[in-house]
Chain A
Amino acid sequence: MSENGNARDPGGLSPAGTERSPAGTERSFRSRAVSKFLRNRVAVAGLIILMLIVSSSILSITAGDPDTAEIDLDRSLEPPSLSHPFGTDAFGRDLLIRVLQGGRVSLSVGFAARTISLVLGLLFGTLAGFYGGKTDSVLMRLADITFSFPTLLLLIAIMAVASPGLVSLSMALGIVGWAALARLVRAQVLSVRQREYVQAARAAGASDLKIIIRYILPQCISPVIVVYTLGLGMTVMAEASLSFLGLGVQPPVPSWGRMISGGIAFMRTAPWLTLFPGLVLTLTISSLNLVGDGLRDALDPSIVRGFKGLGRMKL
């Protein structure tokens, strides 16, 4: 494990460490990161697969409203064919379209949940890091408590008592993910807070809010992007697991987890019902992980590596 902190900003990559104009170095840092990402073939492959899945999920809107999708019992449980590449489900609906529509739901829930985590993490992480003292210790104990539940179990407990639905599902997934981001932001704030330019800004009479927004939050962008993406894969996985258990997305809204659990009864007669949704789900999670890894390598926030619970999120 590498030491936290010391190894940051090799060569003054961040605007903070340099005397040059912040805007200029920021741009060169970004373009360097982008070209580094693009040279990572595996990450680019992940990005392409991800974009394919996302765009075809969005296109699946044109195939009609998933909730009232045409039921055609004459075509029930047809094996994969040219007209139905993934086969049809027990109600005769085209499985490929169902899977893509499910993808729209899963990905939307995933992004919504990560964004909730991000907002909570930024808010509480900044508060803890900037004000320290009691605020800090209370918030960090709360983070410890969040970490002391196995994530999926905590989610199960929350969803067992919450009324099911997409909103409560996104909220639950978002709340569970707050702690990792808050810890990260806090660590970043702590390392920036004492720098000369922040003290100079304070001496010049800048308000707390201005210091946070103008000088501290920009320093959090790279690590936050990385952790946001790395958590996305696991959030999609958690959503699918909850839906699989019947605690997530409720029918008739299509979801991968639900499709897979619904397919179990047909494992012997129509295995494609479990195979294809799972395959697309796995592809989505893999590509999210690949992109996350690629971003981590490109942005190189070494603070992410040496930090417990901040690597790839675990269920």
Chain B
Amino acid sequence: MLRFTARRLLMLVPILFGVVTVTFFLMYVMPGDPVLALAGERYDEETLESLRKEYGLDKPLHLQYVDYLSRLARFDLGRSFITGRPVSESIAERFPRTMLLALSAMAIAVIAGVLTGGLSAWGRYPWLGKTLMGLSLAGVSIPVFWLGLLLIHLFSIKLGIFPPSGYGGGSIRYLVLPALTLSFASMATIARVTRSGFLEAGAGDFVRTARAKGLAESKVIGKHVFRNALIPVVTIVGTDFGSYLSGSVLTETIFGWPGLGRFIVQAIMKRDFPVIQGSILFMAVMFVLVNLLVDLSYGMIDPRVREKEGPG
């Protein structure tokens, strides 16, 4: 386990480096002079020069890159061109709201997904399984932003149960629709994986043995089938974390949720590139770290994963 962990941590270095480099160069090739946006309507060459100097944009590319790295090492993501506020401060303010949304969505997805998946694997009502799996196909195929609008149409405009948009200080009434929207795709995947997990585990030799030695059916399902069926669900939750981050961009835009996703979209509209760069980098790093955690926990749950990695 120690070697496995060490190897995973070591792999992190080139990946993080690559992520940083990609975000740097993406923003560097941005067309148009960022200083023009900064200087506003009225400007002369002198202001432009001094602004370039202030932001280090007059230096050659490789020096700018080195600057960028050394600032990152101090967790300095630069300042917004528009408000002048440090990007890291804005992220610290907005990311918890995105996490609130993402974690609520994740909770809904896991609970509802495992329930539907389990129900549909239960052989008693084959039509139920088929219907649920059909719904889960719709779940992965429905675009997040359209689903959000449908929910607004139904629950806000027609029924008036939930507010169509806003944060409401994080109150649960405002959270329900966006969390539901964001959870949907993942819920559908979890349902599918749980179903096949149950079917596979249910057919395993160890289950036959458990039944043969006279274990109560509830124990067979609860202890043997359930635990084995859920191993893949752990991975899904991790790999789907990226979908939650991506989805939060769309969901937050639709529901006016003041998180990091909406922040990025607003920054793109204003071409506020330190904000775009910093926020996307931050999200990518979060994604990498969560995937690392999932890999590690997967290695802990299932020793076969560790061995498979073997030398070479």
Which residues of A are at the interface with B, using a C-beta cutoff of 8 A? 1, 141-142, 144-145, 148-154, 156-158, 160-161, 163, 233, 237, 240-241, 244-247, 257, 260-261, 264, 267-268, 271, 274-275, 278, 281-282, 285-286, 289-290, 308-309, 312, 314-315
Contacts and interface: CB of A to CB of B under 8 A. Distances in A.
Contacts of B232: 1
A150 B26 contact: no
Contacts of B144: 241, 315
A314 B242 contact: yes
A314 B139 CA distance: 13
B121 interface: no
Contacts of A160: 30, 268, 276
A156 B137 contact: no
Given A148-B291, A268-B157, A315 B26 contact: no
A156 B249 contact: yes
B242 A151 contact: yes
A78 to B, nearest CB: 19
B65 to A, nearest CB: 16
27 contacts: A144-B11, A145-B18, A145-B22, A149-B242, A150-B245, A152-B250, A154-B284, A156-B280, A157-B23, A157-B276, A157-B280, A160-B276, A161-B26, A161-B31, A163-B31, A240-B143, A245-B253, A264-B149, A264-B254, A267-B153, A278-B150, A281-B146, A285-B141, A285-B142, A289-B140, A308-B239, A314-B243
Contacts of A161: 26-27, 29-31
From A264, A278, A309, residue with most partner B Cβ within 10 Å: A278
B152 A267 contact: yes
B287 interface: yes
B1 interface: no
Contacts of B249: 152-153, 156, 245
B26 A278 contact: no
B24 to A, nearest CB: 11
Chain B interface size, under 10 / 10 to 19 / 20 to 34 / 35 or more: 35 or more
B143 A267 contact: no
Interface of B: 11, 14-15, 18-19, 22-23, 26-27, 29-31, 137-138, 140-146, 149-150, 152-153, 157, 185, 232, 239-240, 242-243, 245-247, 249-250, 253-254, 264-265, 268-269, 276, 280, 283-284, 287-288, 291
B26 A245 contact: no
Given A145-B19, A148-B284, A289 B143 contact: no
A157 B141 CA distance: 24
Contact of B149 (A148, A278, A285): A278
A129 to B, nearest CB: 15
Contact of B250 (A149, A154, A241, A312): A241
Contacts of A278: 143, 146, 149-150
A314 B288 contact: no
Given A141-B18, A157-B276, A163-B31, A282 B143 contact: yes
A241 B140 contact: no
Nearest to A279: B146
Nearest to B295: A308
A315 B246 contact: yes
A1 B31 CA distance: 45
A282 B141 CA distance: 6
Contacts of B19: 145, 148-149
Nearest to A152: B246
A205 to B, nearest CB: 30
Contacts of A308: 239
A285 B18 contact: no
B265 to A, nearest CB: 6
A265 to B, nearest CB: 12
